[in-house]
């Protein structure tokens, strides 16, 4: 079996609230549209994220759905501890593997 290609998706911005969430998801969809059907891992770098609300989690989960629908796997690196806590409170922490 071929090794999965790692596809870097747009990194999370420093601020990701309701106002930025739709644009972020659209940019990720555009990046995924260029991925050929082969084993791939989509990776999101969340290290810059500082100001966020639950919309950031919703955006990440929307991108995750897009990745899985295209047959890919999914990783989030550098998710800040506060965001991990929020994901835990919402019961979605396991959906954001690092």
- Least confident stretch, 15-24, 31-40, 43-52: 31-40
Confidence at residue 80, expressed as pLDDT on a 0 to 100 scale: 96
Q: How confident is the model at residue 4 (pLDDT cuts 50, 70, 90)?
A: confident
Q: How confident is the model at residue 2 (pLDDT cuts 50, 70, 90)?
A: low
pLDDT digits (tens, 9 = 90+) for 9-18: 999 999 999 9
pTM reported for the whole predicted model: 0.91
Calpha distance 13→38 (Å, rounded): 28
Beta-sheet strands, E only, within 1-98: 5-8, 15-16, 40-45, 51-52, 73-77
pLDDT digits (tens, 9 = 90+) for 45-98: 999 999 999 999 999 999 999 999 999 999 999 999 999 999 999 999 999 998
């Amino acid at each position: 079996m071929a090794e999965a290609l790692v596809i870097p998706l747009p990194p999370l911005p420093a601020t990701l609230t309701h106002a930025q969430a739709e644009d972020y998801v659209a940019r990720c969809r555009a990046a995924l549209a260029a991925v050929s059907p082969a084993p791939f891992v989509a990776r999101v770098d969340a290290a810059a994220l500082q100001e966020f609300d639950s919309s950031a989690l919703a955006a990440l989960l929307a991108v995750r759905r897009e990745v899985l629908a295209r047959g890919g796997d999914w990783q989030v690196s550098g998710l800040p501890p506060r965001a991990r806590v929020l994901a835990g409170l919402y019961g979605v922490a396991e959906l954001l593997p690092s």
